[in-house]
Structure 1
Amino acid sequence: MQRHLALGPAAEAELLAVVDAVVAQQRQLLEQSKAEAIRALSEGFAQKLADLQRELSEKESTVNTIARYFEEVVADLSDRSHRDPKTKLLNFDWFMERLESFLGAEQRARWCAIGVVDITSFKAYNDTLGHAVGDRIIERVAKILGEQIRSEDLLALERPVARDLHARFGGDEYCFMIPDLPGHSEAEHIAARFKNAVEGFDWTREDRRLADRPVRVDVGVVVLRLGAVDERRGVARKLAADLIHWADQLMYSAKGQRASHIYMICTRVVDGELLEVPDQEAVRLHSGAGAGFPAYED
């Protein structure tokens, strides 16, 4: 066999060249196969990684949706806990907390107003028309209060949450706050707007028997010249209670008249106490020329 395979130098060189070519081709094929295998593995890994990222993103989106849902539930429950179930207005305790917080911290506003509202002769409606009609009257007056003491009358808050500052005081009484007024006279205009809206409402929509007995309200309003926050910060709780008490007394004074009325006074804080400001002095304060008070700056 060796004899038959014996090659001359030229043939041997040719054979070796062929062998080298075959080996080189096999090496090239091997490298191509390795590259294709690596590419296939890489593509598979990238796809798996993309699938994993998509799954994680979907799970994160689900978690965020659930978290937002529970945040909304908690916010809704918190809001409901601060509201009167019949009128959907703030309950009185939460109203007082917000009023106290405002008095102890507000530095931008010049004047604010606190009002107390009572439905004139409400007991007569209950006694003669029934409690169901009485409840509808209470709910309707509350709705008109919210519509007429409007959000643009209220201080712009940082949070996009409830801006209303209307509350049910108890029974057929309500209270409201207007935190930012340019002057004392605007409070009377806003209170009159509300009173006129109640008296101008078509009460037959609630009960036909109200055609001859339209609902009226009496309103007491205390306007406070805010002054420096340092005058109020340490006595905010007392001031809040005094303002409501004064407004309540004014409302009862209005009820003593034959026709429904709006009673209003202007006040300021002196040595931690609420002090009534005479009308003429209130006008001077409004213009910024009151004795002892610097002119307001725009």
Structure 2
Amino acid sequence: MNRTKRVTQTMDYKTKQGRWVRKMLLLYWMIIAVHFIAQLGSYLFLDYSATPYEFYVRILFVPTLIMCGSNFLAELAYYKFNRLSFVILFIASTVICWMIIRLNYDIRIITALCLLPIFSSILFFTRHLIWLSYVLQVVVFFSLLAIDGSFRAYLSAFDIVAIPAFLTMSTFLALIIQASGRDLLVDLHKTQRAQQELMISNAIISKMSMTDGLTKLYNHLSFQTFYEKALEYAEQGAIIHLAVVDIDNFKKINDTYGHQFGDKILESISQIITEQITANDIAARYGGEEFAILMFEHTFEEAYQIVECIRREVEKKTFDEKMQRVSVTVSIGLKSYSEEMNKDTFFQGADDYLYQAKRSGKNKIVAELNHIA
């Protein structure tokens, strides 16, 4: 189970990473579009020292096609070559950023755009992606410096030293952010796991507080809660029947065979009750050897049939103890709710029927006054 959970968590993590890759690709498309519009607007509305051919071919369309091509390759890797998607994504971001820097190096602050791939890599909490982004920026910077005379001529000696130093410091800052973010995620995961364990513990404790430890039926306290709620439904017209079940001669059984044997009988009868009632019914160990059953939305005949099945199954059951077979019986009082009743008279009516069954021979159901089945 733990292995399955880890696999599920890994799949969820990869799915989230995939969503971030998708967002980064969308961001790069937006950067390309904004740069295209800004360049075209600058040429059309500002004093731009370039011929139409030089601008449209060398400055606008060719660089834009290169940037679009690199981002398209990243899109393709995202969908087709998942293992390479991160590498190609950061190669594409490097191409896009340095293409924009190369075209606009007269804007001094534009070189800061090379930090975008480095700080984007923080999102994936993988150290080697930060180093990959750093190496790509340094390689492209020195490559431009070596092969592009106009770019080299525009930079001062201080720029040539400061830009790599700035990239290095920014990379170490990104590594610190990544490490602290990973620690935060670990702490968050531990907190969530602790909360989940606490919720499970609370659910177990809550269930234990509502059920009887021996019979696994609801206990007296939880039955009272259900009973009061059932009476509210009954007052609104719901059909409710209450059966009170008592094991005949249980004290004698305990005195003869011991309490351990008595517990065995209680468990067995609880199992019979659980098997005979429907999913909508509620059964509880009301106290000692007495059980209470709330039955909802049954006709009187159906409710009677349920408790009759319980009585017969208990009667058929035998227990082996001290080289002899022991059988037990139950007496049952069954009462249907009517409008003139309240919670006390309703329960008292079922309880009175139970004692009529006890006094009239036991192992039977009394369901109405003067009627013994």
CA distance in 2, matches of 1:223, 1:203: 33
Provide the secondary structure at the position in 2 that maps to 1:52: helix
Alignment correspondent of 1:243: 346
Aligned with 1:169 (options 281, 286, 308): 286
Q: Which structure has more RCO (C-alpha within 8 Å, separation ≥ 6)? A: 1
Compute the displacement of 1:202 (Å): 4.3
Superposed CA deviations along residues 79-116 of structure 1, whole A, max 9, x for unmatched, are 43344344343332331122112312568873111111
Provide the secondary structure at the position in 2 that maps to 1:139: helix
Aligned with 1:141 (options 261, 264, 269): 269
Aligned with 1:56 (options 178, 184, 193): 184
* Unpaired runs of at least 5, structure 1: 1-20, 155-164, 232-237, 266-275, 280-298
Superposed CA deviations along residues 106-153 of structure 1, whole A, max 9, x for unmatched, are 688731111110112223312322332122212322232233324x23
Q: Which letter does structure 1 place at the counterpart of 2:273? A: L
Alignment correspondent of 2:336: 223
Alpha carbons of structure 1 residues 52 and 196: separation in structure 2 relative to 1, 3 Å: farther
Provide the secondary structure at the position in 2 that maps to 1:90: coil
Alignment correspondent of 2:356: 253
CA distance in 2, matches of 1:81, 1:47: 50
Please identify, of 61-70 and 38-47, the stretch whose mean Cα deviation from structure 2 is larger. Answer: 38-47
Alignment correspondent of 2:120: none
Superposed CA deviations along residues 2-59 of structure 1, whole A, max 9, x for unmatched, are xxxxxxxxxxxxxxxxxxx8x9559367545444333333333333323222221221
Compute the displacement of 1:259 (Å): 5.5
CA distance in 2, matches of 1:46, 1:63: 25
Aligned with 1:195 (options 311, 321, 328): 311
User: Are the aligned partners of 1:118 and 1:218 in contact in 2 as well (CA < 8 Å)?
Assistant: yes
Q: Which letter does structure 1 place at the counterpart of 2:229? A: S
Provide the secondary structure at the position in 2 that maps to 1:203: strand
Q: Which letter does structure 1 place at the counterpart of 2:264? A: R
Alpha carbons of structure 1 residues 51 and 224: separation in structure 2 relative to 1, 3 Å: same
| Percentage identity across paired residues of the two chains | 25
Compute the displacement of 1:184 (Å): 2.0
Q: Which letter does structure 1 place at the counterpart of 2:289? A: D
Runs of 4+ in 1 over 6 A off after TM superposition: 106-109
Compute the displacement of 1:60 (Å): 1.4
Alignment correspondent of 1:181: 297
TM-score by length of 1: 0.62
User: Are the aligned partners of 1:111 and 1:184 in contact in 2 as well (CA < 8 Å)?
Assistant: no
CA distance in 2, matches of 1:56, 1:35: 31
Compute the displacement of 1:214 (Å): 1.3
Superposed CA deviations along residues 175-218 of structure 1, whole A, max 9, x for unmatched, are 1212x2142222112212222332233423xx36562x312111
Alignment correspondent of 1:84: 212
User: Are the aligned partners of 1:113 and 1:223 in contact in 2 as well (CA < 8 Å)?
Assistant: yes
* Unpaired runs of at least 5, structure 2: 1-148
Provide the secondary structure at the position in 1 that maps to 2:172: helix
Alignment correspondent of 2:21: none
Aligned with 2:280 (options 145, 153, 157): 153
* Larger relative strand fraction: 1
Report 1:71-110 matches (<5 A): 71-105=199-233, 110=238
CA distance in 2, matches of 1:46, 1:170: 66
CA distance in 1, matches of 2:319, 2:176: 69
* Larger relative helix fraction: 2
